[in-house]
Amino acid sequence: MATLTHFDEQGASRMVDISNKEITDRIAVAQAKVIMKPETFRLIMDKKIQKGDVLEVARVAGIMAAKQTFSLIPMCHPLNLASVKIDYTNNSVDTIDVFSEVRVSGKTGVEMEAITAAAICAITIYDMCKSLDKEMIISDMHLVRKSGGKSGTFAFGKNHA
């Protein structure tokens, strides 16, 4: 049975001690979906939302969020991130898929940073469009893959045997 590393032997919360870990290149990719009315989708794609270019504002928000993850999630280490990228795909009708990729050379992974970036990016899309579409749905937020570190590579859906 796996032990939870954020608790000591007495059950007290703690930040994991990474001082003896090796520095390795680590990458994590996360995803979130934003589902909306087709009219809202078209306004975003045509850059006709009055608040500005929704996808570019959301991209900046996602990058900023990755850099602040340690201040949002109690046991996360502050990291000197090497790269944060936000990309989008869409189904040309009503859904925007957000993908965040975070890289670091360090002693701990960047899964939480990638998930936080995707989440805040999706929330920013919602915030910028909520006056037009209060029924938007943020869904399917998850880690897509990660590599580096002692636990190796993980790919969503390939590790559930």
Mean pLDDT per block of 10 residues along the chain (161 residues) reads 68 85 96 98 97 97 98 95 98 97 96 98 98 97 94 80 44
In this structure, is residue 19 part of a structural domain? no
Of the residues 8, 25, 94, 127, only one is catalytic, namely 127
pLDDT at 2: 58
* Residue 88 is assigned to a structural domain of this protein: yes
pTM: 0.92
CATH number at residue 64: 3.30.70.640
- Per-residue CA distances from 79 to 20, 43, 69, 76, 102 (Å): 16, 36, 9, 9, 11
8-state DSSP, 23: P
Nearest to 145 by CA among 137, 155, 153: 155
Residue 66, domain member (yes or no): yes
Q: Is there a domain that residue 161 lies in?
A: no
Number of alpha helices (DSSP H) and beta strands (DSSP E) in the chain: 4, 5
Number of domains in the chain: 1
Residue 54 within any structural domain of the chain: yes
Q: Is residue 111 part of a domain?
A: yes
Structural domain containing residue 140:
28-148
- Using DSSP's 3-state secondary structure scheme, residue 76 falls into coil
What pLDDT sits at residue 4? 59
127 annotated active-site = yes
Q: Is residue 34 part of a domain?
A: yes
Answer whether residue 39 is part of any domain: yes
